Amino acid sequence: MSSNPLGKSCRINKYMKNIIIRAIGRLPDAWSKEAAESYLLRLKPYAKIQVIELPEASKGTAKPDPERVKVSEAESLLKGIPDNAFVVAMDEQGKTITSEAFAAKLDAWNQHGPVVFLIGGSWGLHASVRNRANHTLAFGPMTFTHAMARVMLLEQLYRAAAISSGKEYHK
């Protein structure tokens, strides 16, 4: 047993997860920052999570070239990924899975190195990011802002940790 930041005792997973989230853009609103921080705090007993915010290539450009923006952001997203990482691209064209399946996959993906989640900017992901990814994951066919996608990813990571540790987490 170990104590978590909220002062309650909890059992730490046998294999603590090592997760890196590389995301284009900063969280723009107080609500998204608060939600992300809340899930990061909840995840502390279960995972080592590093969030890396990368600059938007279209910021400050009146008429950005979407393809050029995606290429530039792809370079930022892919730079510095550990060689032994399992890379998951968050993309509306990806596969949808249940939370239980996500928990099982996350446990398997994390066996040999960190799991790196890539979240693109407002123009989406360049094909080179999808090509580098070991798995492409979607929250559904709808498009979400990168801020919303990050909060939803953190919530699902927490849900997966709860499922994997046998903690009661409502459906």
| Residue 171: inside a domain | no
| Residue 5: inside a domain | no
pLDDT tens-digit profile, the chain (171 residues): 333 343 343 444 454 789 999 999 999 999 999 999 999 999 999 999 999 999 999 776 778 898 999 999 999 999 999 999 999 999 998 999 999 999 999 999 998 899 999 999 989 999 999 999 999 999 998 888 889 999 999 999 999 999 998 887 655
Transcribe 14-59 into DSSP letters: SS-EEEEEEEES---SHHHHHHHHHHHHHHTTTEEEEEEEE--TTT
Residues in the chain: 171
Give me the domain span that covers residue 114.
18-164
Confidence (pLDDT) at 169? 64
| Residue 40: inside a domain | yes
| Residue 123: inside a domain | yes
| Residue 42: inside a domain | yes
Q: Which two structure tokens, joined as six digits, stand for 88? A: 């998951």
| Residue 78: inside a domain | yes
Confidence (pLDDT) at 162? 92
Domain count of the fold of the chain? 1
| Residue 135: inside a domain | yes
Confidence (pLDDT) at 63? 82
Residues 6+ away with beta carbon under 8 Å from 71: 126, 128
In the block, residue with structure tokens 């979407």:
66
The CATH number given to whatever domain includes residue 107 is 3.40.1280.10
Confidence (pLDDT) at 6? 38
CA distance 108 to 103: 9
Confidence (pLDDT) at 170? 59
| Residue 66: inside a domain | yes
Of 152, 169, 166, nearest in space to 39 by CA: 152
Report pTM.
0.87
CA distance 18 to 113: 7
